[in-house]
Each structure stands twice: as structure tokens, then as C-alpha cells.
Chain A
Amino acid sequence: MAETPVPPVMPAAPPLWRRIWLPVLVFALLAIVPLIWGERFILGLVTRAMIMAIAALSLDLILGYGALVSFGHAAFLGIGAYAVAILFTHDIVDASIAFPVAILAGALFALVTGAISLKTRGVYFIMITLAFGQMALFTATSLSAYGGDDGLRMFHRSEVFGSRLLANDTTFYFVVLGTLLACFLLLKAIVASRFGRVLRGAKENERRMRALGFDPFLYRLAAYVLAGAICALAGALFANLGMFVAPAYMTWQRSGEFIAMVVLGGMGTLIGPIIGGIGVTLVEEWLAQITQHWKVIFGPMVILVAIFARGGIVKLLTRGDR
């Protein structure tokens, strides 16, 4: 036993290409889209899909890695979008101010609501995040100075240090793609860090983590704030996409869609929610063109994938990898 000399063999990691082929493929495809389909409609659609992917990615940090089912995540999208649009009406149109404000607003809302919500678990957590989401929604509808129910229009996209370069749809497309890639790489590093390890550990076995000396609450709160900040960034981009914001951005239905994107794409992987976010947005658009009753088709599709592809699309795609 103790005296048996065992050579300390570190377990081997899987080969590099197995770990990266899927993200490389996804981002390469996204990068060539504007070269193949230059039409405004397609470009706008895929840009929207990528923005939803950023939002889904941020939700995955708390849902997939923290096992926290937040049903109010769309609030952060709305807060980021409103921050940009409201500043716009006050003639603060530069992204160098508007975007950081949007991110901070999302982080702050997450800090306050997270500190309260994270004291609860399970169904209570779902209900309380839903309640905070609805509060944000009602607050937006009651902002009569900023359009109330009708929403708020921006006359042009945010400027970047005084230049209107985002006005070009292709440029905007690549800015969103770059943001998506940056968020992906950032979260990739975070989930593998010491912090991410504690977050994952608390999902694996909270009791064990406490006995080891970790207080899961602090780590979950930090993850919640980070997720809120990133989703608000997605909101800031979303406001710029259509140059319009409305309370409808933060309905609980959209929060539900984010959950569907994460679950269908593959919880607890980071490429999964990106595929899920883009896939769900495109499929919804496609179904909506076929019939106005598209939700009748989309609902059962979600259920089928949830039943037959546990672990999401990523699980299906990488089945042979291990």
C-alpha cells in the first residue's frame, strides 16, 4: 500500500484536434457566410443568430456549469439593449461609453438579483429568477419617457470613437462574430480555471465541496454576475442590430428560448449553446416563413431532441470522438 512505489502517471488529455475540430468548423462556417450570401436579409439573420448565441453562451455558464436554471435571463439582454438605446436618446452614441455602461448595468442587476436568488435552490430559484425577469419587463413597459410598450428607436448604430463603421452590415457582422469568439474563448478559459473548477465541483457535489472548504454561494454569484454582464453585451449588440429596443426583448418566453438553446445545443459544453443559439434562431425563422403557427411545430421538435439527443446536438456530433 503506502510503501508501494508507484510512478506518478498523469492521465493523458485527448488529442488536440478532437477537442477543437467542432469549434473550428463552426467559426470557419460563420466567417465565410458573408462571402457566400451577401444579401442583407441573410446577413442580418445570421447576425441575430450569433447575438442569441452569445446570450445562450452566457446562460450556459450558470446553467450548464452551475446547474442553476435561471428563467429570467432575457432581462439581461433587455437591460443591455435599453442601456444603449437610452444613452442614445441622451446623445451618448459612442460604443466606447454605451457598451461598458450596458455591461455594468447587466452585472449590477445580476449582483443584486443573484445575491437574493442564489439563497434558494431548485424550483424556488427558477421562480425567483422568473419574478426578477418579469420585474425588469414591467419596468421597461412603464418607462413612458423611453417609449413604454412601443419601445425605443435609434437613428443609427453606435459610433466607434466617432466613426460610423458599424453602419456597414458586413462590418457589424464581423464585429458580432468577433465578440462571439472572444466570449467563447473567455468562457473556455474560465471554466477550466480554478474558479471554474469550484463552480463545476459545486454542481457535481455541493456537500463535498463545502466539506473541502469552499462556499459555493460566492462562486455561483460571481458566475451569475459574469453571465449577466455577457448577456447584457449581447443586448447592446442586439439594440444595434435593428436599431430598436422594446420590452418584448425580455419576456419569459425568450428566457425559455435561451434555456432551449443551451439544452438542445449541449449543456456544459461551450460550443453546444453556440450551435443551439444559431440553430434555434434559424429554424424558428424558417418555420415562421412556412406557417404562422410555427410554434406548434417547434415545440414538439424541442421535445424530440430533448428525448432522443440527451446531451444535445454536440453529443451527437462528437459521439465518435471518445
Chain B
Amino acid sequence: MSTPVLSLSGLHKSYGALKVTDGVSLDVMPGELHAIIGPNGAGKTTLIGEITGEVALDAGTISFCGEDITRLPIHQRALRGLTRSFQITQVLPGFTALENVATAAQAHDGSSFHFFRRASSESHLNRVAMDALAQVGLAPRAGMVAASLSHGEKRQLEIAMALVSSPKILLLDEPMAGMGREETEGMVEVLMALKGRYPMVLVEHDMHAVFRLADRISVLVYGRVIASGTPEAVRADPAVREAYLGEEDFA
């Protein structure tokens, strides 16, 4: 039995009286795509924030590749290969798509305390960036300023930035949110292609996508994991059916 890449144990977080994370423990195994589903406000985004270090925990420990990272700041977790995308896309709006990705590549390519050489002529960074843009289908938009990209393209751009970040795990917070049918299908294909190459934590509302992609699913409701297992087991779980009562995907 191999050891988990990411291991959460006993995570707790409250905002005042609101328990957003209530004793969450879960493991992500190498190569596994672990989906986290749950109704709005269940605490999924907060959980991703706790893993990446944006949200301070009240209690619990997080270990990543065998190292306790509970107290590490955001950027140091990122440098260790904990790579995320955001539910509300976060790009560098004034940079071109290419420079967005090249900047991500730069973070994992030696020191950035270089003051004289033109960063935009570092062909190594540009090549890696172009490659990633091509993988997510954004190559034709490389020269566009990120602010001018469509919502779906910004999501693709975030994935490209993640790909060049030497990820040891991908944490994707609703990568299909706000996308049209066609764009969603494109994103599912991209994720299919990435599956197995990287372990992933996928927070997603689109049940069709989740059941196609996930190896394991954990269901989060009011900050608690009420079920965790294979897609079939979760689909059959009475507690999950209860929480999702009336949702056609479970009918």
C-alpha cells in the first residue's frame, strides 16, 4: 500500500459560530483523482484554502509528500508543488496569456532575483509556457492580454499556469464553473488527459463531469465529510441521497 500524497487530519475551522470545516480528514493517493462535492456553502473552497495556506486552521494537521506543512506560508507550499486553480479565476490581467504562464514557470526555474536579462526573451520559459498553452487549447491566444480573454479561456489559462508549476498535486476549485456546454466538454477532456499524470483534488458541481472523472468522491455537507468512497458507493449512499434529495443526477 503506497503512502498518500496529501493527508488531511482532523481539520477544524470556524468563522464565529459557523463551523466551516468540522473534523475533516481525508487522504489523496498517488495518481488519484479525488473529487469533493457538496452543496453551496458546504466549505469546499475554504477547505482548498486551508490546504494551500490561505485560510488559517483552528486545529488539525496537513501533510504533503510526507512533510508536515501545516505552518508553512502559501508561497512555500506552492513551491513544494501544491498547485491550485481558483473558483473565481485569478490571472495577471495586464499580462499576456503567454507571460502569465511564463511567470508561473519562472517560479519553479531558479531565482527570480535577476535584474538585467529580459524575462520575456528567456526562450526556455517561453517554450515551456507555449507548450502548456497548447495542451489546454489556448495557443492561438498566447499574445492576448489575459483581461481580454473569455471566462472559459481564463479557466484554461489557470490550468496552463498550474501545469508549468511543477505540480505534485493539482487542487482545482470548480474548473467548469460558469462555462458553457462546449467549454465544459473541452475542460473534461483536458482533465481526462491529465488524470493519472498528477494526483488531483477536484471540487466540482457538474455531477456528470465528477462521475466521469473521479476515482474517489468525498461529500462535504456543513463542513463535515458525510461520505467518502468510489463513485458507485457514494451514489448508493443513503446519507448522500438524503443530502441531495431531489437532485436529478442522483435520481
Contacts and interface: CB of A to CB of B under 8 A. Distances in A.
Mutual binders A and B: yes
B78 A211 contact: yes
Size range of the interface on A? 35 or more
B92 A213 contact: no
A18 interface: no
A208 B92 contact: yes
A312 B180 CA distance: 40
A1 B189 contact: yes
Interface in B185-211: 186, 189-190, 193
A10 B137 contact: no
A205 B78 contact: no
Interface stretch (B28-36, B37-45, B103-111, B239-247): B103-111
Interface stretch (B7-15, B17-25, B55-63, B128-136): B128-136
B107 A8 contact: no
B161 A212 contact: yes
A200 B142 CA distance: 19
A8 B112 contact: no
Given A2-B190, A190-B115, A204 B92 contact: yes
Contacts of B75: 210, 212-215
A291 interface: no
Contacts, number: 131
Contacts of A209: 92, 103
A219 B90 contact: no
Interface in B173-193: 186, 189-190, 193
Interface stretch (A89-97, A140-148, A191-199, A235-243): A191-199
B66 interface: no
Interface string A2-28: 101111111110000000000000000
A10 B114 contact: no
Given A1-B186, A8-B134, A197-B99, A219 B107 contact: no
Interface string B92-107: 1111101100011011
Given A1-B193, A205-B91, A193 B131 contact: no
Contacts of B104: 212
Contacts of B137: 1-2, 4, 6
Contacts of B93: 204-205
Nearest to A210: B74
A8 B103 contact: no
Contacts of A204: 92-95
B165 A8 contact: no
Contacts of A10: 98, 126, 130, 142-143
Q: Which of A193, A197, A210, A214 has the most CB of B within 10 A?
A: A197
A201 interface: yes
B119 interface: yes
A8 B119 contact: no
A5 B122 CA distance: 23
A196 B92 CA distance: 14
Given A189-B115, A205-B92, A211-B84, A8 B139 contact: yes
Nearest to A190: B115
B127 interface: yes
Contacts of A196: 115, 119
A222 interface: yes
A207 interface: yes
Given A2-B189, A213-B107, A194 B98 contact: no
Q: Which of B79, B115, B134, B136 has the most CB of A within 10 A?
A: B115
A211 B76 CA distance: 9
Nearest to A2: B193
B229 to A, nearest CB: 30
A212 B107 contact: yes
B78 A194 contact: no
Nearest to B190: A1
Interface in A218-262: 219, 222
A33 to B, nearest CB: 30
A208 B112 contact: no
Contacts of A195: 112-115
A4 B137 CA distance: 8
Contacts of B136: 1-2
Interface string A160-184: 0000000000000000000000000
A28 B20 CA distance: 63
A193 B142 contact: no
6 contacts: A11-B143, A193-B118, A194-B119, A197-B120, A200-B94, A210-B75
Interface of B: 52, 54, 73-76, 78-79, 84, 86, 90-96, 98-99, 103-104, 106-108, 111-120, 122, 126-127, 130-131, 134-137, 139-140, 142-144, 161, 165, 186, 189-190, 193
Which 5 A/B pairs are nearest by Cβ-Cβ distance?
A: A11-B143, A6-B139, A213-B78, A213-B107, A8-B130
Interface of A: 1-2, 4-12, 189-190, 192-198, 200-201, 204-205, 207-215, 219, 222
Given A9-B142, A196-B119, A198-B103, 8 more contacts: A4-B137, A10-B130, A190-B115, A193-B116, A197-B99, A211-B52, A211-B78, A213-B108
